[in-house]
């Protein structure tokens, strides 16, 4: 376990959903935190509660000079910045998504130039081949399966993350850089985007349930399965990873206990108190059939597993969203 006390730590994308929770986790460990974010998806409101305890740089990491300035004088870098959105956004904006490759290159090479002690790259479960996620009873995904059966991520976003992983491994081999790679699986929680243009499944369902939308339409047929993890648990896993595994060998951070989209939709209706019948729209993008993580490496190497029960996490997410809606006089 690393002692973060007084260490200068950079979080790219630190005003975003996962990034802001990681900032909270690092501050609890007494790190000296710097955040860089262009605020295209991240929000100042996500770090408003800790703005006096961090250094904030508004900058576009597509610019190599911005990346070098952000990395200068830091001991560790947690790289989360990426172009991302919901299923619809990632399907309709392929060129935009691939800007992440440039962002990754700028940060990784800046860390090399500035001799940063440790770098963590946040990859994604979207790197796994689609043909390993086609059955409802699909076995949990093991880290080596990303390339073992041929690379075939489920989206352009997945390709950008896989390219980032391979680049990290090349820098580790070439320069001996200490690099960690984590693959989060379906995180959710407070501060996630509830914007209908780019929200993921849980905030999308929760927003529409709070608004009492009728008909209550859910994409797919309800049999798709996902292993959701609460964002606070994920932030803890990310911090543990940079201290325990720096050989650029990816590690899953997720759950091996999936729920179907039908189950999650019904649970969202339950916690929001909305008695509605679900209408299934099978003409919309559904994603892969089943996605769950093999957690052996996370347990054995990090001693980590998610702790927050799904219903509890949904309630925390709902309470945050209702407060946000009240503060902005919207639902």
SS3 label, residue 274: coil
Beta-bridge partner residues of 34: 10, 55
Comparing CA positions, the residue from 224, 217, 221, 232 lying closest to residue 313 is 232
Name the region of 2 (left: φ>0; alpha: ψ -120 to 50; beta: rest). beta
User: Rounded to whole angstroms, how far apart are CA atoms 219 and 271?
Assistant: 20
Q: What are 62's two structure tokens? A: 């597509």
Give catalytic residues, as residue numbers: 157
Q: Burial level of 145, CB count in 10 A (0-12/13-18/19+)? A: middle
Return the ∠ at Cα 301 (arms to 298 and 304), rounded to 5°.
Answer: 45
Residue 91 to residues 73, 87, 293, 295, 320, Cα–Cα distance (Å): 38, 6, 24, 29, 29
- Please compute, for residue 190, the number of CA atoms within 13 A of its CA located in the half-sphere on the CB side: 22
Which residues have a Cβ under 8 Å from the Cβ of 176 and sit 6 or more positions away? Answer: none
């Amino acid at each position: 376990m690393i002692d973060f006390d007084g260490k200068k730590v950079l979080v790219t994308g630190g005003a975003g959903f996962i990034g802001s929770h990681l900032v909270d986790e690092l501050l609890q460990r007494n790190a000296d935190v710097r955040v860089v974010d262009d605020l295209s998806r991240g929000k100042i409101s996500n770090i408003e509660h800790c703005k006096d305890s961090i250094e904030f740089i508004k900058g576009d990491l597509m610019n190599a000079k911005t990346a070098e300035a952000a990395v200068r004088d830091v001991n560790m870098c947690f790289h989360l910045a990426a172009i991302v959105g919901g299923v619809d956004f990632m399907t309709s904006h392929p060129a935009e998504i691939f800007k992440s490759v440039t962002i990754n290159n700028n940060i990784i090479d800046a860390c090399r130039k500035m001799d940063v002690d440790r770098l963590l790259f946040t990859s994604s479960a979207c790197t796994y081949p689609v043909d390993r996620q086609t059955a409802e009873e699909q076995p949990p995904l093991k880290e080596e399966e990303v390339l073992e059966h041929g690379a075939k991520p489920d989206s352009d976003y997945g390709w950008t993350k896989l390219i980032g992983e391979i680049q990290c491994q090349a820098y580790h081999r070439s320069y001996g850089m200490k690099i960690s790679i984590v693959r989060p699986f379906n995180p959710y929680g407070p501060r996630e985007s509830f914007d209908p243009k780019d929200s993921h499944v849980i905030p999308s369902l929760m927003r529409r349930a709070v608004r009492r939308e009728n008909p209550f339409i859910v994409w797919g047929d309800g049999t798709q399965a996902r292993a959701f993890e609460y964002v606070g648990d994920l932030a803890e896993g990310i911090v543990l990873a940079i201290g325990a595994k720096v050989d650029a060998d990816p590690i899953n951070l997720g759950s091996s206990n999936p729920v179907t989209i039908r189950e999650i939709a019904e649970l969202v209706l339950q916690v929001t108190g909305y008695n509605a019948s679900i209408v299934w729209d099978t003409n919309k993008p559904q994603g892969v059939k089943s996605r769950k993580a093999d957690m052996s490496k996370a347990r054995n190497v990090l001693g980590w597993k998610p702790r927050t029960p799904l219903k509890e996490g949904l309630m925390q997410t709902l309470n945050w969203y209702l407060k946000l809606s009240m503060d902005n006089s919207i639902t």
